[in-house]
Protein backbone atom coordinates (compact mmCIF):
# COMPACT_ATOMS: atom_id res chain seq x y z
CA UNK A 1 0.00 0.00 0.00
CA UNK A 2 2.80 2.42 0.78
CA UNK A 3 4.30 1.76 -2.66
CA UNK A 4 1.10 3.02 -4.25
CA UNK A 5 1.17 6.20 -2.18
CA UNK A 6 4.81 6.84 -3.09
CA UNK A 7 4.06 6.20 -6.77
CA UNK A 8 1.10 8.60 -6.64
CA UNK A 9 3.26 11.23 -4.90
CA UNK A 10 5.92 10.93 -7.62
CA UNK A 11 3.32 11.30 -10.37
CA UNK A 12 2.06 14.54 -8.83
CA UNK A 13 5.62 15.87 -8.47
CA UNK A 14 6.48 15.05 -12.09
CA UNK A 15 3.23 16.54 -13.36
CA UNK A 16 3.64 19.84 -11.52
CA UNK A 17 7.33 20.04 -12.42
CA UNK A 18 6.48 19.54 -16.07
CA UNK A 19 3.95 22.37 -15.97
CA UNK A 20 6.53 24.53 -14.18
CA UNK A 21 8.95 24.11 -17.07
CA UNK A 22 6.11 25.06 -19.41
CA UNK A 23 5.73 28.30 -17.44
CA UNK A 24 9.47 28.93 -17.87
CA UNK A 25 9.33 28.41 -21.64
CA UNK A 26 6.32 30.64 -22.15
CA UNK A 27 7.89 33.30 -19.92
CA UNK A 28 11.16 33.14 -21.90
CA UNK A 29 9.20 33.66 -25.11
CA UNK A 30 7.73 36.80 -23.50
CA UNK A 31 4.25 35.57 -24.22
CA UNK A 32 1.18 36.15 -22.08
CA UNK A 33 0.84 32.76 -20.40
CA UNK A 34 -2.57 33.52 -18.94
CA UNK A 35 -4.10 32.48 -22.24
CA UNK A 36 -2.61 28.97 -22.06
CA UNK A 37 -4.14 26.14 -20.09
CA UNK A 38 -2.21 23.49 -18.17
CA UNK A 39 -2.38 21.06 -21.08
CA UNK A 40 -0.43 23.37 -23.36
CA UNK A 41 1.99 24.26 -20.56
CA UNK A 42 2.54 20.56 -19.84
CA UNK A 43 3.37 19.75 -23.46
CA UNK A 44 5.73 22.70 -23.72
CA UNK A 45 7.29 21.73 -20.37
CA UNK A 46 7.87 18.23 -21.66
CA UNK A 47 9.65 19.76 -24.66
CA UNK A 48 11.89 21.84 -22.36
CA UNK A 49 12.77 18.82 -20.22
CA UNK A 50 13.75 16.87 -23.35
CA UNK A 51 16.00 19.71 -24.51
CA UNK A 52 17.60 19.95 -21.05
CA UNK A 53 18.13 16.20 -21.08
CA UNK A 54 19.86 16.29 -24.46
CA UNK A 55 22.25 19.04 -23.42
CA UNK A 56 23.07 17.77 -19.94
CA UNK A 57 23.69 14.19 -21.04
CA UNK A 58 27.07 15.29 -22.40
CA UNK A 59 28.04 17.13 -19.21
CA UNK A 60 26.73 15.16 -16.24
CA UNK A 61 25.24 11.72 -15.64
CA UNK A 62 21.50 11.51 -15.21
CA UNK A 63 21.28 10.12 -11.70
CA UNK A 64 19.24 10.94 -8.59
CA UNK A 65 21.02 14.22 -7.94
CA UNK A 66 20.39 15.45 -11.48
CA UNK A 67 16.73 14.47 -11.35
CA UNK A 68 16.16 16.01 -7.92
CA UNK A 69 17.75 19.26 -9.06
CA UNK A 70 15.71 19.22 -12.27
CA UNK A 71 12.40 18.70 -10.49
CA UNK A 72 13.12 21.20 -7.71
CA UNK A 73 13.58 23.88 -10.38
CA UNK A 74 10.33 22.80 -12.06
CA UNK A 75 8.34 22.71 -8.82
CA UNK A 76 9.65 26.08 -7.68
CA UNK A 77 8.79 27.55 -11.09
CA UNK A 78 5.27 26.13 -10.86
CA UNK A 79 4.84 27.50 -7.35
CA UNK A 80 6.12 30.96 -8.33
CA UNK A 81 3.96 31.39 -11.42
CA UNK A 82 0.93 29.79 -9.79
CA UNK A 83 1.10 32.16 -6.82
CA UNK A 84 1.68 35.09 -9.15
CA UNK A 85 -1.60 34.37 -11.02
CA UNK A 86 -3.60 32.42 -8.45
CA UNK A 87 -6.97 33.91 -9.48
CA UNK A 88 -6.59 32.74 -13.06
CA UNK A 89 -5.23 29.26 -12.37
CA UNK A 90 -7.42 28.26 -9.41
CA UNK A 91 -9.98 26.61 -11.69
CA UNK A 92 -7.23 25.04 -13.82
CA UNK A 93 -5.64 23.32 -10.82
CA UNK A 94 -9.00 21.97 -9.67
CA UNK A 95 -9.69 20.56 -13.13
CA UNK A 96 -6.19 19.12 -13.36
CA UNK A 97 -6.46 17.23 -10.09
CA UNK A 98 -10.01 16.08 -10.86
CA UNK A 99 -8.91 14.54 -14.16
CA UNK A 100 -5.73 13.17 -12.58
CA UNK A 101 -7.60 11.45 -9.72
CA UNK A 102 -10.22 10.15 -12.11
CA UNK A 103 -7.59 8.58 -14.35
CA UNK A 104 -5.74 7.06 -11.40
CA UNK A 105 -8.91 5.35 -10.16
For the chain, the domains span 2-104
Q: How confident is the model at residue 86 (pLDDT cuts 50, 70, 90)?
A: confident
What does the pLDDT read at residue 8? 84
What does the pLDDT read at residue 77? 94
What does the pLDDT read at residue 49? 95
3-state secondary structure the chain: CHHHHHHHHHHHHHHHHHHHHHHHHHHHCCCCHHHCCHHHHHHHHHHHHHHHHHHHCCCCCCCHHHHHHHHHHHHHHHHHHHHHCHHHHHHHHHHHHHHHHHHHC
pLDDT digits (tens, 9 = 90+) for 54-73: 999 999 899 999 999 999 99
Whether the predicted pLDDT of 103 surpasses 90: no
Amino acid sequence: MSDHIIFFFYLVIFLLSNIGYGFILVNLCKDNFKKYNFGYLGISGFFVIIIISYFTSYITPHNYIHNIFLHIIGLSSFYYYYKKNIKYYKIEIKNLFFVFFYLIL
